[in-house]
Amino acid sequence: MAEVLVYVDHVDGAVRKPTLELLTLARRVGVPVAVALGPGAEATAATLAEHGAVKVLTADAPEFADYLVVPKVDALQAAYDAVSPAAVLVPSSAEGKEIAARLAVRIESGIITDAIDLESGDEGPVATQSVFAAAFTTKSRISKGTPVITVKPNSAPVEAAPAAGAVEALSVSFSAQATGTKVTARTPRESTGRPELTEAAIVVSGGRGVNGAENFGIIEALADSLGAAVGASRAAVDAGWYPHSNQVGQTGKSVSPQLYIASGISGAIQHRAGMQTSKTIVAINKDAEAPIFDLVDYGVVGDLFEVVPQLTDEVKSRKG
Amino acid sequence: MSLRIVVCVKYVPDATGDRHFAEDLTVDRDDVDGLLSELDEYAVEQALQIKEAADDEAEITVLTVGPEDAKDALRKALSMGADKAVHVEDDDLHGTDVMGTSLVLAKAIEKTGYDLVIAGMASTDGTMGVLPAILSERLGVPQVTLLSEVSVADGVVKGRRDGDTASEQLEASLPAVVSVTDQSGEARYPSFKGIMAAKKKPVESLDLDDLDIDADEVGLEGAWTKVDSAAERPARTAGTIVKDEGEGGKQLAEFLAGQKFI
Ligand SMILES: Cc1cc2nc3c(=O)[nH]c(=O)nc-3n(C[C@H](O)[C@H](O)[C@H](O)COP(=O)(O)OP(=O)(O)OC[C@H]3O[C@@H](n4cnc5c(N)ncnc54)[C@H](O)[C@@H]3O)c2cc1C
Ligand SMILES: Nc1ncnc2c1ncn2[C@@H]1O[C@H](COP(=O)(O)O)[C@@H](O)[C@H]1O
């Protein structure tokens, strides 16, 4: 089978979960060759090998951290030239999509973004996408060049599939564009100790109904009782009650957890765009007519200040 | 020297309407009302603020690639305060994907002349969010994208990009391609005066010939991707809805336990 390039999203050598999911999908369409860049690149190899990477191409240089996006495109292109893969797969983060898109222009290929599934087909990989705020599901493929596809988190299970994972140094010569956009300062996001929003199995979100930053504590308490991530609607974020990094929806994060619990959220189309593919959806809203109830598996019409704390207590006592 | 700003705006089907696909699996633009993508209003707003900060020593051109109706999007941007508009329209463009659209935009931007290109973070219909990066690649100028804050001074663009794992301060020399998020600041409403003034502002129309682009490089036939099927997501089966009579939280816990979440 032909080789497939998999771009690795990692933080100082710790591989993020969407990349492991990507390896599961990559094995359906070919033999995964991973590309890991920046500090800690070599440290990713053991994990990647466990999940099916036959080879791990690594490169580190100050350019990767000091300049935006383009140095990574140069490196991915070097890997592409070295391997001549049948497809290039990249995690669908904001940066991942930009890297993939620039590579696609350079290698004269079509690009599909935000796939939620991938199968092999007679004419190359077939990508499933969820469009129009998840109202439609499409199947597409690339008709020119080597398929470049970005895949959303939670699109496939993480599977063990031991392979060699041999580390090979990738030699990269940076393009004239590589140093065009300088990163003059970087403030890492503070860890909350909760699961990553896009990776979490359960997401508990609050909206305008939460009515104040001080009240988000009851949303967090429910999330913590379930080991969940915390999300927020744009109304709650715009009001300054919760950070934008936790916003769920069209202009925030798109999540697809096993369970999504919406409290005090009406269910506007732009919010739905980011959560409608969740497996099980639960809502608490005092308005029986709220559109969110059209999506739910279970809904409680009631005051979230009564229902949520009671639920939290019940979860805690059941978990013992 | 006056700063030449080109703002890329897209005319999209209203997200609150019943959006669907046409028979050829392209986005149906006939049955749903269209409008200037809300996310591109933020791009127009930042262009206006950059112009104001430059004591009006700037000229803002709004640019769209789209059907006849897309003029509505240009009008809206002009009524917000942009100076002039360019509309690329050609029957052969129907069904063009992001590779083709970006080619057309890049050529139109070069023809217009620019120091700064500003785009939205994503279109509200395609929601790819990759076009600004592609434009940067095609034009061979820096990308300074997904900014929640942006400023231009002395030929340098600076901005803040709030990413997944960190918030970054970015800097690049002009010419450059910028995209701004919906965190960059509310877009202004057109004033009555603005709406009247917009009627007199120039709108230039260009077709593929004007841009030296062959019909087979764009359109549905020339597309680099192919949609094989589009299926409406099956309606979710109606869930259980209970009214809280004092036990709502417990009932919900019971449901979650039944689903093995607890
Ligand atoms: C271009 C664009 C992009 C957007 N992107 C996003 C996005 O990414 N994410 C997003 O969320 N939105 C987004 N929006 C905004 C979206 O349209 C809605 O305005 C927003 O989702 C509303 O948030 P909400 O449901 O919290 O508030 P509301 O719509 O005001 O709903 C609040 C709900 O809380 C209920 N409630 C109030 N008090 C209580 C109580 N005590 N107990 C129980 N229920 C209560 C009310 O009945 C109501 O249903 C976007 C809009 C645009 C135009
Ligand atoms: N047809 C178009 N005409 C003009 N600008 C566009 C067009 N399509 C996309 N854009 C710009 O590119 C941005 C990102 O689009 P996308 O990559 O399609 O999500 C939008 O916010 C617009 O600024």
What residue in A sits closest to B258 (Cα-Cα)? A298
Taking the CA of A271 as reference, the closest ligand is 1
Tokens found for residue B37: 């993508």
Tens of pLDDT, residue by residue over B116-129, are: 999 999 998 878 99
Peptide bond into B175 cis (omega under 30): yes
| Residue type present at position A292 | I
Split at pLDDT 50, 70, 90, the class of B26 is confident
pLDDT in tens, B81-120: 999 999 999 999 998 999 999 999 999 999 999 999 999 9
- The 10s digit of each residue's pLDDT in B166-186 is 999 999 999 999 999 999 999
> Under a CB-based contact definition with an 8 Å cutoff, are residues A231 and A249 in contact?
no
| Cα(B122) to centroid(ligand 2), Å | 6
**A116 pLDDT tier (thresholds 50, 70, 90):** very high
Distance from CA of B124 to the nearest CA of A (A): 8
From the candidates B164, B174, B183, which should be mutated to test the interface with A, based on the most A CB atoms within 10 A? Answer: B164
Residue B59, judged by CB atoms within 10 A of its CB (0-12, 13-18, 19+), counts as middle
Candidate of B5, B6, B8 to mutate for ligand 2, largest count of ligand atoms within 8 Å of Cβ: B8
Residue A275 has pLDDT above 80, yes or no: yes
Contact B58, B95 (CB under 8 A): no
Interface touch A298/B255, C-beta < 8 Å: yes
β-strands B166-173, A182-188 pairing = antiparallel
Q: What is the DSSP string of B139-172?
A: HTS-EEEEEEEEEEETTEEEEEEE-SSEEEEEEE
Total-model pTM:
0.95
CA distances from B230 to A76, B23, B24, B224, B256 (A): 32, 10, 10, 17, 33
d(CA A177, CA A154): 33
In the numeric block, which tokens belong to residue B116?
């700064």
Of residues B127, B140, B168, nearest to A177 (C-beta): B140
pLDDT band at residue B1 using 50, 70 and 90 as cut-offs: low
Residue A141 has a pLDDT of 96
Closest CA to B40 of B187, B138, B160: B187
Q: B213 and B104 in contact (C-beta within 8 Å)? A: yes
- Give the nearest partner residue to A310 out of B133, B236, B248, using CB atoms: B248
Kindly identify the ligand whose nearest atom is closest to the C-alpha of B125.
Answer: 2
Nearest to A143 among B98, B144, B223 (CB): B223
Is residue B7 within 8 Å of residue B63, measured between CB atoms?
yes
As a whole-number percent, the residues of chain B with pLDDT over 90 amount to 83
Q: Which tops the pLDDT comparison, B255 or A189?
A: B255
pLDDT, tens only, B133-146? 999 999 999 999 99
Q: Report the b/e string of B95-131 with b at 16+ CB within 10 A.
A: bbbbbbbbbbbbbbbebbebbbbbbbbbbbbbbbbbb
pLDDT tens digit string along A209-250?
999 999 999 999 999 999 999 999 999 999 999 999 999 999
Task: Indicate which residue's Cα is closest to atom 41 of ligand 1.
Answer: A303
CB contact under 8 A, A139 and B129: no
Backbone angles phi, psi at B48, to 5 degrees: -65, -40
3-state secondary structure of B44: helix
Q: What is the mean pLDDT of residues B212-227?
A: 92
pLDDT value for B71: 96
> How many angstroms away from the CA of A304 is the closest CA of chain B?
9
Residue B46's pLDDT is 98
B120 ligand 2 Cβ < 6 A: yes
Q: What is the mean pLDDT of residues B236-246?
A: 92
The minimum CA-CA distance between A307 and chain B, rounded to whole Å, is 5
- Residue in chain A nearest B217 by alpha carbon: A144
For the cut 90, the answer to whether the pLDDT of residue B12 exceeds it is: yes
Question: Does the pLDDT value for residue A56 go beyond 90?
Answer: yes
Q: Which of residues 45-74 of B touch A (CB under 8 A)?
A: none
Instruction: Give the pLDDT band (50/70/90) at residue B196.
Output: very high
pLDDT of residue B152: 97
What whole-number percentage of chain B has pLDDT above 70? 100
Contacts of B230 in chain A (CB under 8 A): 131, 136-138
ipTM entry: 0.95
Mean pLDDT of chain B: 94
Task: Look at residues B103, B96, B91 and name the one whose alpha carbon lies nearest to residue B131.
Answer: B103
Mutate one of B180, B226, B245, B255 to test the A interface: name it (highest A CB count within 10 A). B226
Residue with tokens 């820096």: B142
Question: What does the DSSP assignment read for A107-156?
Answer: TT--EEEEEEEEE--TTS-EEEEEETTTTEEEEEEE-SSS-EEEE-TTSS
Q: Is 90 exceeded by the pLDDT of residue A134? A: no
**Residue B260: its pLDDT value, please?**
95
- pLDDT in the model for residue B31: 75
Q: Cβ contact (<8 Å) for B249 and A307?
A: yes
Query: Mean of the per-residue pLDDT values for chain A?
Result: 96
B86 lines ligand 2 (CB under 6 A): no
